Amino acid sequence: MKAAIEARWAEEVEFLKELVKVPSDNPPGDCEAHAERTAELLQGLGFKVEQHPVPEPFVRQNGMRSVTNLIVRQVFGAGTGPTIALNSHGDVVPPGDGWTTDPYGAEEHGGEIYGRGVAVSKSDFATYAFALLALIAEPEGLNGAVELHLTYDEEAGGFVGPKWLIEQELTKPDYAISAGFSYAVTTAHNGCLHLEVVVRGRQAHAAMPETGADALEAAMPILSALYAERHRLHGVHSAQKGIDTPKLTVGLINGGINTNVVPDRITFRLDRRLIPEEDGAVVEEQLRDLILAAAPQTEGIEVECRRIMLAEPLRPREGTEALVKALAIPAEAILGEPIGATGAPLYTDARHYSEAGIPTVLYGAGPRSILEANAHGADEHLKLSDLKAATEIVALALKDLLSE
């Protein structure tokens, strides 16, 4: 495998650079151009690419503008062995400020590529595509299939990406490997609940505030209760390695009419991270009860809670150990250090495969940590040595899983 990957290494680097050069920010989630360019590049590598556009109403419902998911299918031998899905997402968070390079320039410096999405997770478009090409170059003794699932809504929850592909019965793999880190095999990760809280009051002139119902004043005890809950969660710990405690953040607040008007509406959104031991529906019910109990019983004040998104945690399931073994053995040999199973304190769309009963892990060209690569930050970058190592490791893992 190493020789096959080395033979196309320059091509793989250029492939990744081309992906970084096409913006696919989410929001706003207009990813059609990136999907088209990716399909063109894959076809140039000799792959047959299926393009599956998601109907606009479903895309808009999930806060995006356009989504076309891509599937590449490659059968080995009689095709009676396992089918392994390799999933990575091409949508990325907007660049933000503070960059010292062009976020879409795909500039190479000191053995690293810089650009938005180069680490999370356009890198694994390259990892998986060129690992598959290495298998195609050396197909002897293989039986089964590999599918590339290149999707475009991870930053919005994955509901019109992997989940849509599975629900539309466009795929039914036996195993799934999703974009991840080079130095660990991730078998579990946190979930996430987003709630919107609306506090409604009644506007009034600031010269006579007692004639209104102040929505901001009513929101204050609710916020105090939420921050008290945040501190309580510091004492709750997951038994899963790599995952610490549940988290709660009020990340967005909006409201008011003008400086001289009693605010009649305050809206805020909160992010509650779930550890694998928690159930999202139970946590949501508990948070709703806490918010409503904290709301003052003031005339003219109403409080409403609305779910924006619920992503359940990724939990290890039967069959995951086969993926861990297939990846960890070559990873340790190539990287020269122990590579074990761990959890991650973020959430990904890999959970959709697991929820469908498919053993799923995260593994790819990512760095040791999100902070190391500035993922979701300015000057996001990826070590080319990690990309090459991950490509070889994934290829060897696929060979192991497909060997008769």
Find the helix or strand (DSSP H, E) in which 108 lies: strand 107-109
CB 129 within 8 A of CB 66: no
pLDDT at 267: 98
pLDDT at 370: 72
| Burial of residue 254, with CB atoms counted within 10 A of its CB: 0-12 exposed, 13-18 middle, 19 or more buried | exposed
CA–CA gap between residue 298 and residue 302 (Å, rounded) = 9
- The pTM assigned to this predicted structure is 0.91
pLDDT at 366: 81
| Burial of residue 250, with CB atoms counted within 10 A of its CB: 0-12 exposed, 13-18 middle, 19 or more buried | middle
Structure token digits, residue 5: 């990957």
Residue 193 phi/psi, 5° resolution? -120, 125
Reference 16, options 26, 8, 27; nearest CA is 8
E-state strands within 237-355: 247-255, 265-274, 302-311, 341-344
CA–CA gap between residue 143 and residue 401 (Å, rounded) = 9
Q: What is the pLDDT along the chain (404 residues), one digit of tens a residue?
A: 899 999 999 999 999 999 999 999 999 999 999 999 999 999 999 999 999 999 999 999 988 999 999 999 999 999 999 999 999 999 999 999 999 999 999 999 999 999 999 999 999 999 999 999 999 999 999 999 999 999 999 998 889 999 999 999 999 999 999 999 999 999 999 999 999 999 999 999 999 999 999 999 999 999 999 999 999 999 999 999 999 999 999 999 999 999 999 999 999 999 999 999 999 999 999 999 999 999 999 999 999 999 999 999 999 999 999 999 999 999 999 999 999 899 999 899 999 999 999 999 999 998 887 777 788 899 999 999 999 999 999 999 999 999 97
The string of DSSP codes covering 387-400 is HHHHHHHHHHHHHH
- Listed in sequence order, the residues at least 6 apart from 167 whose beta carbon sits closer than 8 Å to its beta carbon are none
CA–CA gap between residue 114 and residue 102 (Å, rounded) = 8
CA–CA gap between residue 343 and residue 341 (Å, rounded) = 7
pLDDT at 372: 79
pLDDT at 279: 96
